[in-house]
Structure 1
């Protein structure tokens, strides 16, 4: 995990994660009209105006958690998607799921 400490790795990791989540959310937004999905407490009434890239950069800047939290966060989101297929990641819940998985990852990785 020492390679995650490199200053060049974090911007690429943030870009990768935001790109991946954007594609998943956009794809699921398109499928929303054809499938009946549940609404959860993670769903907002509107799409947030902040891009995922900006949101992740802001979290990285202010949350003060280790870079490995991004990896654990991704794993949690992937597991959530697999275990809850009726609650897919879309543009109405991605920001809330992201910050929740970040909090759990930080608790797991960084709490003393």
Structure 2
């Protein structure tokens, strides 16, 4: 469902807002955690390299091909936020933000849009 004043297939504003928030958080954590990288324990979400696709492009691609509602992105952000609050040793950075996104969006779609 498109927001008021938008085309039916236009990317919802929530995608841009979420991508901006997560990109800034990842960049901040990259700058803070870079000196500590040697001591960082890898998790299942931590990649060895940064993906070539930006967070915004990734979210737009998910929106185009997954056919999920804009509310799923809000719920996905809540899932990420809750996970990070409950696991303070895990931090969101450029190496794992894409993996957190696809996992949280998929979970949100299952909760919000599946019949």
Same-fold call, TM cutoff 0.5: yes
Runs of 5+ unmatched residues, structure 1? none
Q: Secondary structure at the match of 1:27?
A: helix
- Residue matched to 1:73: 76
Cα contact 2:46–2:96 (8 A) shared by 1: yes
Q: Any idea what the Cα deviations from partners look like across 1:59-109, whole Å, max 9, x if unmatched? A: 000001111101100100111111111111000000000000011000100
What is the aligned-residue RMSD (CA, Å)?
1.9
Q: Which residue of 2 aligns with 1:89?
A: 92
Taking structure 2 as the reference length, the TM-score comes to: 0.86
Equivalent pair of 2:26/2:97 in contact (CA under 8 Å)? yes
Q: What's the TM-score, normalizing by structure 1?
A: 0.88
Q: Which residue of 2 aligns with 1:16?
A: 17
Contact 1:26 1:90 in 2 (8 A): yes
- Equivalenced residue count is 109
Structure 2 residues not aligned, in runs of 5+? none
